[in-house]
Structure 1
Amino acid sequence: MSNRHLSRALTLQSLFMWDFNEEDASYLDFYIDYNLQKFGLKNCDREFIDYLTKSVVGNRVSLDEMINRYTKEWPVDRLTLVDRNILRMAIFEMFNSAEVPTKVALNEGVELAKEYGGSSSQKFVSGVLGTLYEEHFKNKASSDPLDNTQ
Structure 2
Amino acid sequence: MGLRHQGRELALKTLYRIDICGGASSDDLTALFDSFPVEDEARRFAVQLVEGVRREQPALDKHLADALEHWSVKRLSRVDHNVMRIALYELLRMEDIPARVTIDEAIELAKCYGDIESGRFVNGVLDEIAGRLGLKQKGDDVTQSKAE
TM-score range, shorter-chain basis?
0.7 to 0.9
The number of aligned residues is: 137
Residue number in structure 2 paired with 1:108:
105
Contact 2:127 2:136 in 1 (8 A): no
For 1:93 and 1:64, the matched residues in 2 are separated by 14
Residue number in structure 2 paired with 1:62:
59
Q: 1:7 to 1:58 in 2, by over 3 A?
A: same
Confirm whether residue 29 of structure 1 aligns to residue 33 of structure 2: no
Contact 1:9 1:112 in 2 (8 A): yes
Q: 1:80 to 1:96 in 2, by over 3 A?
A: same
Percentage of pairs with the same residue: 31
**Range moving further from structure 2, 36-45 or 70-79:** 36-45
Which of 86, 89, 92 aligns to 1:92? It is 89
Q: Deviations over 1:24-53 (max 9, x none)?
A: xxx263454233322322365222211110
For 2:69 and 2:131, the matched residues in 1 are separated by 17
Residue number in structure 1 paired with 2:16:
16
Contact 2:63 2:129 in 1 (8 A): no
Unmatched runs of 5 consecutive residues or more in structure 2 = 139-148
Residue number in structure 2 paired with 1:147:
none
Contact 1:11 1:52 in 2 (8 A): yes
TM-score by length of 1: 0.82
CA RMSD of aligned residues (A): 1.9
Contact 1:28 1:54 in 2 (8 A): no
Post-superposition offset of 1:103: 1.3
For 1:108 and 1:31, the matched residues in 2 are separated by 26
Residue number in structure 1 paired with 2:135:
137
Confirm whether residue 41 of structure 1 aligns to residue 44 of structure 2: no
Q: AA paired with 1:22?
A: G
Unmatched runs of 5 consecutive residues or more in structure 1 = 141-150
Which structure 1 residue ranges, 4+ long, deviate > 3 Å from structure 2? 28-32
For 2:14 and 2:43, the matched residues in 1 are separated by 12
Contact 2:99 2:136 in 1 (8 A): no
Contact 1:86 1:112 in 2 (8 A): yes
Contact 2:110 2:118 in 1 (8 A): yes
SS at match of 2:12: helix
For 2:129 and 2:101, the matched residues in 1 are separated by 14
Q: Deviations over 1:77-121 (max 9, x none)?
A: 110100000010001101110111111111111111011111111
Q: 1:102 to 1:53 in 2, by over 3 A?
A: same
